[in-house]
């Protein structure tokens, strides 16, 4: 990961310059593995986010707001008890490792000064946030308790003595010297790739900075160590020591590395990374700012992905069942439409009872329903008398007649259910906020597709999800619903009767609204709205997608229809091909 020991050192440098000596006002726990601490210092409030997420562990200041649970978790209550009102005395790093110690002085239950240490361990899936009593070096508690069953080497439980993470005999690069460097080169496997040498032998170095050292030394990263010439070894050491001198002197240049597509980043670092070229970099004023921007999207989408998987799996199973059900219903409908022949069989048998002997398996009778009185072969069950065979055919006809009526009612219901479930899957894919997933889950519980308790709605709800908001090339406002709740709100509550409403034709997708300002909507805006409707639909990866649009007054919600389900009339159709690059050109208004 990009957040290595060098980035950690840069973070601590900035924390010391910002909150050292500050007072802790508030502590919150937004997620099961994440806290935020509000610190007042030098006339300014700072919000410090600390995450022990397996995928995105980190520590940095943040400007973004996150919703809090209705009741604070136990670890949050513990931190409030020990840290609220406390003063930050010291912030330091364990050598060059991704372990941070924050010492805080506060008053204990008896009103006596007491010093606690908040330990932040950024170690991938083993990341943790630990509160320790400095005097006894014992763990008070941690956001993730580690039992002996989870780790035989290092347990983290209340009352146990805190032990530093193992460093696997790695060297501290801050004490780097030439003789040590050359000795390590000799000791390592001759088949080891050059760039791996750095992060496997020195604390706090990531693959990214290891590759950067090779790049600066003009040495191919994939070459084996055994192929290095003396001059190349010297170049590698010189570049390595140059980087470490920058770290010792706190000479940082925080940077984010862009991906090939817009608004996405592949990496970040505290140093000016050269290997990706200048055009792919964005420099920011602080490492905290870099981390806040980088993780606000990555962490959010990661949590959304984790939360959505079980929901999607459950809905996919129900969708497949409904599709199988529809297939079976259609087959039964075809059979029921052929029901008249059974009534004819019954009538012909009844009219010819005196001519038919018991025990026959088939009989040929003149069909008096046919103008030409052609003979018809009628299968019989030899175990039954002719009269009983006739009654069986009458019953079969009656059963198919009733089934036909029922199926004509059930098939549209099954189709509506399939359409709804496909809409839900599309909505899950469109979610950009955790609250939107929560709204979908609540809706599915209400509809009976998921088990769970329906939360009582409060009169005033602080957090309400918002649709995407775009400004067209012609300056008109375009809104895109991301789930059924937003679609209903946009179409039925927000849109005015003259606003234009867009939806992909005959497939799941978002409701899209153009706010009409008493004038004809330009063709370019119509196309942009159609592109958005196609992009936020099941046809996202298709070509030439049909998008219908009409005035909102022509859109109706049928009685008892599920969330997001509407009908519309008097519409026009635009054909567009969704393109991420074209979507990125439309000006999006950030929430």
pLDDT value at 233 more than 90: yes
Q: How far is CA 110 from CA 75, 114, 136, in A?
A: 21, 10, 18
pLDDT at 242: 95
Q: Determine the Cα–Cα distance for residues 277 and 267; give it in Å rounded to an integer.
A: 13
Average pLDDT, the chain: 90
Domain map (residue ranges) of the chain: 5-142, 173-287, 306-463, 468-588
Rg of the chain, C-alpha, whole Å:
35
Q: Determine the Cα–Cα distance for residues 564 and 566; give it in Å rounded to an integer.
A: 6
The domain covering 5-142 belongs, at the CATH homologous superfamily level, to ibrinogen binding protein from staphylococcus aureus domain (2.30.310.10)
Q: Note whether 424 and 445 are within 8 A (CB).
A: no
> Which tens digit of pLDDT belongs to each residue from 133-148?
999 999 999 999 999 9
pLDDT value at 546 more than 70: yes
Q: Determine the Cα–Cα distance for residues 54 and 62; give it in Å rounded to an integer.
A: 19
> Do 173-287 and 5-142 fall under one CATH topology?
no
pLDDT at 455: 63
User: 372 pLDDT band (50/70/90 cuts)?
Assistant: confident
User: 213 pLDDT band (50/70/90 cuts)?
Assistant: very high
> Which tens digit of pLDDT belongs to each residue from 296-328?
877 777 778 888 888 899 999 999 999 999 999
Where do runs of H (alpha helix) occur along 124-274?
A: 178-187, 194-201, 207-216, 230-248
| Fold of the 173-287 domain | Helicase, Ruva Protein; domain 3 (1.10.8)
C-beta neighbour count of 116 within 10 angstroms: 20
User: 111 pLDDT band (50/70/90 cuts)?
Assistant: confident
Q: Determine the Cα–Cα distance for residues 234 and 518; give it in Å rounded to an integer.
A: 72
Average pLDDT over every residue of 565-574: 94
Q: Which two tokens stand for residue 46?
A: 């700072």
Average pLDDT over every residue of 553-576: 93
Q: Determine the Cα–Cα distance for residues 522 and 346; give it in Å rounded to an integer.
A: 67
Q: Determine the Cα–Cα distance for residues 419 and 318; give it in Å rounded to an integer.
A: 12
* Interhelix angle 5-18/230-248, nearest 10 degrees: 20
Distance of CA 419 to the CA centre of its chain: 22
pLDDT value at 458 more than 70: no
* Interhelix angle 386-430/434-447, nearest 10 degrees: 160
Q: Which residues make beta-bridge pairs with 213?
A: none
pLDDT at 189: 62
> Which tens digit of pLDDT belongs to each residue from 236-277?
999 999 999 999 999 999 999 987 654 568 899 999 999 988
Q: Which two tokens stand for residue 155?
A: 């347990």
Q: Which two tokens stand for residue 311?
A: 């929901």
> Which tens digit of pLDDT belongs to each residue from 46-88?
999 999 998 889 999 999 888 788 889 999 999 999 999 999 9
* DSSP-assigned letters across all residues of 531-559: HHHHHTBTTTT-SSEEEEEEEGGGEE--T
């Amino acid at each position: 990961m990009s957040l290595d020991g060098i980035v950690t050192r840069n973070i601590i440098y900035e924390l010391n310059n910002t909150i050292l000596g500050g007072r802790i006002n508030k502590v919150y726990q937004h997620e099961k593995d994440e806290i935020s601490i509000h610190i007042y210092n030098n006339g300014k409030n700072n919000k410090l986010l600390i995450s022990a997420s397996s995928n995105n562990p980190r520590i940095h200041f943040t400007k973004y707001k996150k919703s809090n649970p209705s009741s604070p978790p136990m670890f949050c209550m513990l931190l409030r008890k020990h840290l609220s009102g406390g003063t930050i005395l010291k912030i330091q790093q364990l050598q060059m490792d991704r372990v941070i110690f924050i010492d805080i002085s506060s008053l204990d239950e008896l009103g006596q000064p007491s010093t606690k240490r908040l330990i932040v361990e950024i170690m991938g899936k083993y990341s943790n946030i630990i509160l320790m009593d400095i005097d006894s070096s014992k763990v008070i508690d941690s956001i993730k308790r580690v039992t002996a069953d989870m780790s035989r080497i290092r347990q983290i439980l209340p009352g146990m003595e805190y032990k530093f993470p193992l460093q696997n005999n790695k060297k501290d690069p801050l004490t780097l010297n030439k003789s040590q460097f050359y000795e390590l080169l000799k000791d390592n496997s001759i088949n080891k790739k050059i760039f791996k040498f750095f992060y496997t032998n020195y604390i706090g170095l990531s693959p990214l900075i290891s590759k950067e050292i090779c790049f600066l030394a003009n040495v191919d990263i994939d070459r084996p160590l055994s192929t290095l010439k003396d001059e190349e070894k010297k170049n590698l050491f010189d570049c390595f020591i140059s980087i470490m001198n920058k770290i010792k002197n706190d000479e940082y240049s925080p940077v984010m590395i862009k991906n090939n597509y817009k608004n996405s980043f592949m990496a970040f670092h505290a140093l000016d990374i050269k290997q990706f070229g200048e055009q792919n970099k964005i420099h920011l004023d602080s490492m905290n700012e870099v981390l806040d921007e980088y993780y606000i999207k990555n962490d959010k989408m990661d949590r959304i992905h984790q939360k959505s998987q079980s929901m999607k799996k459950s809905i996919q199973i129900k969708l497949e069942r409904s599709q199988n059900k529809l297939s079976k219903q259609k087959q039964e409908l075809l059979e029921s439409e052929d029901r008249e022949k059974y009534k004819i069989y019954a009538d012909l048998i009844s009219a010819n009872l005196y001519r038919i002997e018991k025990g026959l398996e088939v009989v040929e009778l003149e069909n008096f329903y046919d103008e030409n009185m052609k003979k018809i072969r009628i299968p019989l069950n030899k175990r039954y008398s002719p009269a009983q065979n006739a009654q069986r055919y009458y019953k079969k006809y009656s059963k198919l007649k009733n089934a036909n009526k029922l199926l004509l009612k059930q098939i549209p219901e099954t189709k509506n259910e399939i359409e709804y479930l496909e809409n839900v899957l599309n909505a899950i894919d469109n979610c950009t906020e955790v609250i939107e997933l929560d709204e979908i889950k609540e809706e599915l519980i209400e509809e009976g597709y998921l088990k769970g308790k329906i939360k009582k709605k409060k009169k005033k709800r602080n957090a309400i999800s918002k649709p995407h908001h775009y400004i067209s090339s012609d300056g008109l406002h375009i809104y895109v619903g991301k789930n059924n709740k937003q679609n209903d709100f946009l179409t039925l509550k927000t849109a005015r009767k003259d606003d234009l409403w867009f939806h992909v034709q005959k497939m799941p997708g978002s409701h899209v609204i153009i706010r009409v300002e008493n004038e004809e909507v330009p063709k370019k805006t119509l196309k942009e709205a159609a592109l958005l409707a196609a992009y936020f639909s099941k046809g996202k990866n298709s070509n030439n997608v049909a998008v219908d649009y009409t005035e909102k007054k022509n859109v109706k919600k049928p009685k008892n229809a599920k969330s997001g389900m509407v009908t519309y009339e008097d519409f026009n159709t635009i054909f567009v091909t969704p393109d991420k690059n074209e979507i990125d050109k439309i000006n999006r208004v950030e929430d």
